[in-house]
Amino acid sequence: MAQRITAEEQRGKGRYALVEDGRETGAELTYSRTGPELVIIDHTGVPEPMRGRGAGRQLVEHAVAEARREGWHILPLCPFAGALFRRNPDWADVLEGR
C-alpha cells in the first residue's frame, strides 16, 4: 500500500490526513497555529479499522518533522500526541516549553 500524508491549513487551523492508495483513510491530526513559531496539536483521530497500524504515530511524527524543517514548536494538548512526546524524549527540541 502506498501511503502519504496530506496537509491543509486555513486561517490558523490545520489538518494532516493519512492517505493510502490515493484515498483518505480517516486518520487525521488537527492543529491550531497560534503564531509563526507555535502549533497546538488538539486532536489525533484514527478510525477503528486503522487502529494498531501506527497511523496516529505517523501523523505525529510528520508534525515533528515539519516543526524541525520549518523552525516551530509544538504544544501537544491532544492526549495521544502528549503521550508520544513523553515516550520520545528525542522530540524535546520541538516541544514547547522545553
19-49 pLDDT per residue, tens? 999 999 999 999 999 999 999 999 999 999 9
Output the CA–CA distances (angstroms, integers) from residue 25 to 15, 68, 77, 84, 94, in the order listed: 13, 26, 23, 21, 27
* Alpha-helical regions (H) of the chain: 55-70, 79-87
Number of domains the chain contains: 1
Query: What global pTM score does this model have?
Result: 0.94
> 3-class SS at 51?
coil
Rounded to 5 degrees, what are φ and ψ at 8? -145, 145
pLDDT at 57 over 70: yes
Residues 34, 56 contacting (CB under 8 angstroms)? no
Which pLDDT score, from 0 to 100, does residue 31 have?
98
CATH number at residue 74: 3.40.630.30
Which pLDDT score, from 0 to 100, does residue 61 have?
98
Which pLDDT tens digit goes with each residue over 66-90?
999 999 999 999 999 999 999 999 9
Q: Which three three-digit cell numbers place residue 91?
A: 522530540
Residue 86's DSSP bridge partners are: none
Range of the domain at 53: 3-94
